[in-house]
Structure 1
Amino acid sequence: MASYLDTYYTRTLRTVEPRASLSGAVQADVCIVGAGMAGITTALELLRRGRSVILLEAQRVSWGASGRNGGVVSPGYSTSFERIAQRVGVDDAKSIYRMSIEGVDIVAENIRQLDIREAQPVNGVLRVSRHENTAEMQAYQAWLAREFQYDVSFKSHEEVRELLVSDKYRHAIYNERGFHFHPLNYARALVAEIERLGGQVFEDSEVLSMDTSSAVKRLKTAHGSVSARDVVFTCGGYTGTVVPQLARSYLPISTYMLVTEPARDMIASAIRTRASVGDSRRASDYYRVVDDGERILWGGMITTRLSEPDRLAEVLRQRMVDTYPQLAALKVELAWSGRMSYARHLMPLIGSLQTGVWYCMGFGGHGMNTTAIGGRLIAQGITGETDRYRLFAPFGLEWNGGPAGTAAVQLTYWYYQLMDFMRERAA
């Protein structure tokens, strides 16, 4: 059995019991491949609609990015509304954005309905700017209220300074309906509910082959097989080669996180809010205090390299200290990486390859709400309840460009870093 990567979340897990690997032949209405947040939500939504479900995970539940991320749940996608509208039109873009709000509500309702106290939800998401763009932020605030009846507040430089004692920030948008939480405890609580409803979850059960030549699909693992009329791939950045079209449709991107040593007073000299914080740069930092203010959980940087860089903790710590020089003496307790999947268009990949074969992946950079709505859309598509998933068809399985595409992504990220730097210098 593969072990969890050592992260803040694994060290603070409420439950740690492993689940058995698949052995022998089993069958269900739906087989879901990948027990990250998208797969777990899809399974739960299907079970609530009366379908039988088998969930296969190559490692352990939420072993990938779903259990190693910043834990922030807020509306939106990894690309802008304007870019979405360019591809699908304004009306459909609004429908798609409403779904991102629905995704936030799905997570909040699961926590409330299942009383997942170990998820430790904390309301409040701050999106801070490191350059002058008051007019842009206030226009965004008005747009959310007008088009979606979604209220956020604008924070002036003085108000931001009371919360975040840093010379880097100018102003912010504060979203009280957004929240942050412990994603791995949340995921494991959902899996417990899946099993309570009769779903079967198998870990250490990588899918090695699939036969889709008949109405009933058959998937094989090292020691067993699953027969199901519908199959859903929700593997994210760890999608293998069983379905080549999926493997060619995303770019695996790594991001990095750290958690600091406990230092309540030092941290309070810099960060005086329990809200999560993310800046508006494309090459952004995102962070929040955890353990009731004892530590900082800090994330930043993206790269196409899939191995952890040397001196990972120090590289991230320097980003933190650049923002808050008063934290120069704060030490890093642990640092880790996570692999996300990005499509070239930066939108989720949600749809159907053929009758009975579905996919729900590509949530990199904004996944806590979009995995939730993605799981619901696929469940609704399988049961015939709605065909809302078709709104994502224009964001199809575009070829990732191979090695050239990976290089282009890295160069684009470096370009964004340079543009962010120049914009701050001009402010």
Structure 2
Amino acid sequence: MLEFANQPHAESWYAATANDATRHPVLEGTIDADVCVIGAGLTGVSAALNLAERGYRVALVEASKVGWAASGRNGGQLIGGFACDIDTFAAFMSEDEIRRIWAMGLETLDIVKSRVAKHNIDCALTQGYFTAANKPRDVDALKRWRDEAATRFGYDRFRYVDADGVGQYAQSSRYPGGLYDPDSGHLHPLNYALGLARAAVEAGVRVFEDSAVTRLRDENGGHVVETARGKVRAKFVVLACNTYLGALAPELSRKIMPVGTYVIATGPLGKERMAALMPAQAAVCDSRFVLDYFRPAPDTRLLWGGKVSYSTFAPPNLGEAMRRDMLKTFPQLADVKVDYAWGGYVDITMSRAPHFGRLKPTVYFAQGFSGHGVNTTGLAGKLIAEAIDGQAARFDLFGKIRHRDFPGGAALRTPALVLAMAWCRMKDLL
């Protein structure tokens, strides 16, 4: 049973402030395309747009709505690079190849910014990102990373901020320092996804919503993508389903784990109070493994994310539980109510490195963004289009990473991860 099919967007602040109400038709009958992309989140829409710009006939098939899953519910943080440590790649690549990976990590930011500008996407894109140290040892780690980025990769844009300067980013006594990145930032992820979809349609992509794929099969040297009421015949297929991949490709599903993550939006604080709370208007994320993240919204609300659930069960009384966490950083907001509380799944890999590859020579996939999906999905879509168009060197570089299945099989892998994450929470407290 496809319980995620034919669903409206989550009742979030993002959905309430979405600026595009376009609905796309259900797939009916049989159509032909060069490429069928399955999943209309940021990965799928990006791949479809890039392919259409290269002259391919593209059908984009979505089980619910454009941006329905993590792409339209996440914290909206635009973070350069990848979720894993850069040396995660060292086991599989040369130092020269790692430098190429680093450059692509910066390119992820450029892709988002150029798309927003080119297609006039109204998504409140804002520059500035601050990693807040939770403990003195985290200060030292952030300084080391600043120095390594400069000496190893020639990137000297990170700026260390001491305790006296933290108030520029968060008026809180909780953090002894942090690292500011002027090139990263934040945006309204659902409006960004909807804007990319509009651009894809203008480029010739046919988008179908409420059209869950029930079967993927080979036929006459190509592929047939079947839904309840239609099918797409295509030479190439792109799987952009992440945690909702399921039975379409169980061998890929074993490489990722769904993780629940949650966000609240406060009531409007007013311009003066928000400016005092977060003067730089940057996105903020703390340095713990099981982290909090927050940012200002254009209507002066505070968007606060966290409460990561590796069991996939949402915390009881979600809004109040999240509010209590927020008050640990901002006790001065004790009088502020929560207007919206929502959540959903993101996918993680064992290593937190992204998982790109081919299931078959003409079936491509991208998954495992591990919390960095707002920008890394744009790179994934671009690299998939390059590869299908015969320029696969950059895409295949990511294929060098050997991803392991999560241990425990279907029955035990979630309990095993819960125990592992409990240990990580304990380390955060030490």
**In structure 2, what is the Cα distance between the partners aligned to 1:48 and 1:235?**
22
Which sits farther off after the overlay, 371-380 or 306-315?
306-315
Q: Is 1:120 aligned to 2:124, yes or no?
A: yes
Aligned residue runs from structure 1 range 159-174, under 5 A: 159-174=165-180
1:231-255 residue CA offsets vs partner (Å, 9 max, x unmatched): 0100011112022212222111110
**Secondary structure of 2:213's partner?**
coil
**In structure 2, what is the Cα distance between the partners aligned to 1:306 and 1:21?**
30
Distance 1:202-1:91 versus aligned 2 partners, 3 A rule: same
Structure 1 residues without counterparts, runs of 5 or longer: 423-427
Among candidates 415, 419, 422, match of residue 411 of structure 1: 419
Please name the residue that 1:144 is paired with: 149
1:179-232 residue CA offsets vs partner (Å, 9 max, x unmatched): 211111111111111111111000011111111254211111000010000001
**Secondary structure of 2:346's partner?**
strand
8 A Cα contact 1:129 1:170, kept in partner: yes
**In structure 1, what is the Cα distance between the partners aligned to 2:312 and 2:289?**
20
Which sits farther off after the overlay, 156-165 or 180-189?
156-165
Among candidates 109, 115, 124, match of residue 114 of structure 2: 109
- Paired residues, what number? 420
Please name the residue that 2:48 is paired with: 43
Distance 1:269-1:414 versus aligned 2 partners, 3 A rule: farther
Structure 1 residue identity aligned to 2:359: L
8 A Cα contact 2:243 2:253, kept in partner: no
Distance 1:160-1:346 versus aligned 2 partners, 3 A rule: same
8 A Cα contact 2:172 2:329, kept in partner: yes
8 A Cα contact 2:238 2:363, kept in partner: yes
Aligned residue runs from structure 1 range 186-201, under 5 A: 186-201=192-207
8 A Cα contact 1:270 1:327, kept in partner: no
Which sits farther off after the overlay, 366-375 or 301-310?
301-310
Give 1:92 shift.
Answer: 2.4
* Cα-Cα RMSD: 1.6
8 A Cα contact 1:267 1:327, kept in partner: no
User: TM-score by structure 1 length?
Assistant: 0.94
8 A Cα contact 1:33 1:232, kept in partner: yes
**Secondary structure of 1:350's partner?**
strand
8 A Cα contact 1:246 1:397, kept in partner: no
Please name the residue that 1:275 is paired with: 282
Please name the residue that 1:153 is paired with: 159
Structure 2 residues without counterparts, runs of 5 or longer: 1-5
Structure 1 residue identity aligned to 2:60: L
**Secondary structure of 1:88's partner?**
coil
Structure 2 residue identity aligned to 1:131: K
8 A Cα contact 1:74 1:101, kept in partner: no
Give 1:373 shift.
Answer: 0.8
Please name the residue that 1:391 is paired with: 397
Aligned residues: percent identity?
33
Give 1:268 shift.
Answer: 4.7
8 A Cα contact 1:308 1:336, kept in partner: no
Please name the residue that 1:368 is paired with: 374
Please name the residue that 1:425 is paired with: none
Structure 2 residue identity aligned to 1:47: A
Please name the residue that 1:30 is paired with: 35
Structure 2 residue identity aligned to 1:130: N
**Secondary structure of 2:207's partner?**
strand
**In structure 2, what is the Cα distance between the partners aligned to 1:3 and 1:24?**
24
8 A Cα contact 1:78 1:364, kept in partner: yes
Structure 2 residue identity aligned to 1:271: M
Please name the residue that 1:54 is paired with: 59
- Which aligned segments of 4 or more residues in structure 1 are displaced greater than 4 angstroms? 265-269
Structure 1 residue identity aligned to 2:188: H
**Secondary structure of 1:176's partner?**
strand
1:245-280 residue CA offsets vs partner (Å, 9 max, x unmatched): 122221111101100011235545533330000011
8 A Cα contact 2:80 2:183, kept in partner: no
Distance 1:87-1:314 versus aligned 2 partners, 3 A rule: farther
Please name the residue that 1:218 is paired with: 224
Give 1:397 shift.
Answer: 5.0
**In structure 1, what is the Cα distance between the partners aligned to 2:134 and 2:334?**
20
Give 1:380 shift.
Answer: 0.8
Q: Is 1:99 aligned to 2:140, yes or no?
A: no
**Secondary structure of 1:278's partner?**
strand
